[in-house]
A = this chain, B = another copy of it.
Amino acid sequence: MPGNLEAIPQENLEHCAAALKVLAHPVRLRLVEQLLAGRWSVTQLAAAVSKPQAEISQHLGKMRAAGLLKAEREGKEVYYGCLDPACATIIQCIRKHCP
């Protein structure tokens, strides 16, 4: 029977599953990719991925709520930037391992 000696604590597992769930969307992965290269406003990001503003705003909001991104208002614009280092690791991981 599988041993569960050094098992990842349940709490962590659930937290991580939730974070992965947020990342697990093609548009959001693309946004994270862009954000690893700098800070960008919502409009810039929407243009970069060719999607309507409302959709991008919702994706960004979801990632922000999950603690994956940070947002800073500057005048009319809100600039998003990458926060969580694990995000970067996942993206690197994807670059390397994905077919």
A residues apposed to B, CB below 8 Å = 1-4, 7-8, 10, 12-21, 23-26, 28-30, 33-34, 37-38, 40, 44-45, 47-48, 84-86, 89-90, 93-95, 97-99
Question: A28 to chain B: closest CB distance in Å?
Answer: 8
Q: Which residues of B contact A4 (CB under 8 A)?
A: 34, 48
Q: Which 10 residue pairs of A and B lie closest in terms of their CB atoms, listed nearest first?
A: A86-B97, A20-B24, A21-B24, A2-B48, A2-B34, A17-B26, A14-B26, A16-B94, A16-B98, A12-B98
A82 to B99, CA, bound (A): 17
Nearest CB to that of A5 among chain B residues? B37
Contact B44 A8 (CB under 8 A): no
